[in-house]
Amino acid sequence: MASATESDCIFCRIASGEMGTELIAESDQHVAFRDLSPQAPVHVLIVPRQHYASLRDVGPDDAGVLADALLLASRVAGEQGLYDGGYRVITNDGPDAGQTVHHLHFHVLGGKELRAGLG
C-alpha cells in the first residue's frame, strides 16, 4: 500500500534525510543515492519520497510517480557518464525477483558491460 512514510522503513528514513545518506540527485518525487553494495561501477537507487512497497502498489492515480522515476534515472545516467556505454534500469518486485527492501526503488546500473539477459 502507498503511505506517506513508514518509520521502520530504511528507504523512507533515507529519503527524509534522517540517515544522512548523500543524495546524488533529487526530483520533486524522488531521491537518488548510491547502493550500499554496488553491483557495477555505477549503481544508483532511485527512490520515491512516498512509501510504496513495490511496483504493484502504484495505481493509475499515481502513474506520474513512475514517469518521474524514469526521467530521474535517465538524468542520473547522463550525469554519471553512462550515455556512451549504456545502462540498465530495473525494479525487483517480490521474492522471485529478489526484492529485499520493501520500498519501491529502481536500480540504475552501468559503467561496465552488464551480464546479458534478464534472469
* The entry of ligand 5GP, Zn ion, none that residue 47 binds, CB within 5 to 8 Å by partner kind: none
Least separation in angstroms between residue 110's CB and ligand 5GP is 15
Among 75, 101, 111, 114, binds ligand 5GP (CB under 6 A): 101
Q: Which is nearer to Zn ion, 80 or 103 (CB)?
A: 103
Listing DSSP states for the chain in one string gives --BS--TT-HHHHHHTTTT-PPPSEE-SSEEEEE-SS-SSSEEEEEEESSB-SSGGG--GGGHHHHHHHHHHHHHHHHHTT-TTT-EEEE---SGGGT--S-S--EEEEESSPPPSS--
Stretch binding ligand 5GP (CB under 6 A), from 32-40, 62-70, 78-86, 109-117? 32-40
